[in-house]
Amino acid sequence: MLKGKTALVTGSTSGIGLGIAVALARQGANVMLNGFGDPAPARDQVAACGGKVGYHGADMSKPAEIEAMVRACAAEFGGVDILVNNAGIQHVANIEDFPVERWDAIIAINLSSAFHTTRMALPGMKARNWGRVLNVASVHGLVASAQKSAYVAAKHGIVGFTKAAALECATTGITHNAICPGWVLTPLVQKQVDARATQLGISNDEAKRQLLAEKQPSLQFTTPEQLGELAVFLCSPAADNVRGVAWAMDGGWTAQ
């Protein structure tokens, strides 16, 4: 379905970004990966699905590096047809204890980076009159949790940005939508599981059970594979008129 299209997926060396990159590659898309750490395992996994794979190590908190990455993607593959703004970090603390540097980093990586990639990718999408922009927000783009002020602010911000961008492109072949996962067991959440286990002196399994029981009525983690299939749907012709939505995949978290 996506043969001949190129997807740029930020933060795709692990977790949800990698799950989405794999699902898009299975549909025939070329994929430009991004993220920290050794990219080789992600590259191998995506390459095994067919299509070409590239990698750019841009730091998503740095606008100049983001610009270089989008240009590199266009040079290597001819443009960006599908942009998945997924890179994200978390920090958990009360507002009065929140390190200023962590606040700035979360806003830059989880929110402003999507502005920079989108402004760089849009001219090419408009020239081809086709594009898909998927912003990986969170349930925290729809509701809040204590001690996550920067993350909640950034994720609510990216849901708003998605709506504004969708309206600007409403009469074009370019759609912008947000995906709002609940708990997904990736390194980002594993850190929170570990912190809970240590703080309460409980096992890892008990910490996971408590985490889910607090917020996610299905008591199941959403998986990167499920989010990958949602991304594929949002890239399909069936989703041509899905514009500006914030689509939860959260086991009922935001239904409460």
Nearer to ligand NAD, 125 or 139 (CB): 139
Burial grade of 140 (CB within 10 A; 0-12, 13-18, 19 or more): buried
By CB under 6 A, tell whether 136 contacts ligand NAD.
Answer: yes
Touching ligand NAD, residues 157-186 (CB under 6 A): 181, 183-184, 186
For ligand NAD, how many residues bind (rule: CB under 6 A)?
29
Nearest distance from C-beta of residue 186 to ligand NAD, angstroms:
3
Catalogue the long-range contacts made by 154-158 (C-beta closer than 8 Å, 24 or more residues apart): 154/88, 154/106, 154/107, 154/110, 154/111, 155/110, 155/111, 157/107, 157/111, 158/85, 158/110, 158/111, 158/114
By CB under 6 A, tell whether 32 contacts ligand NAD.
Answer: no
Nearest distance from C-beta of residue 162 to ligand NAD, angstroms:
13
Touching ligand NAD, residues 87-106 (CB under 6 A): 87-89
Q: Quick one: residue 136, left, alpha or beta (phi over 0 = left, psi -120 to 50 = alpha)? A: beta
Nearer to ligand NAD, 126 or 160 (CB): 160
Is 55 catalytic? The answer is no
Catalytic hit among 77, 151, 221, 247: 151
Question: Which ranges of the chain would DSSP assign to H, the alpha helix?
Answer: 15-26, 40-47, 63-77, 100-107, 113-128, 149-168, 187-200, 204-215, 224-235
With b for 16 or more beta-carbon neighbours within 10 A and e for fewer, the 61-76 pattern comes to: bebebbeebbebbbee
1, 36, 64, 203: which one contacts ligand NAD (CB under 6 A)? 36
Nearer to ligand NAD, 11 or 54 (CB): 11
Nearest distance from C-beta of residue 23 to ligand NAD, angstroms:
14
By CB under 6 A, tell whether 61 contacts ligand NAD.
Answer: yes
Which residues contact ligand NAD by CB under 6 A?
11-17, 34-37, 59-61, 86-89, 109-110, 136, 138, 181, 183-184, 186-189
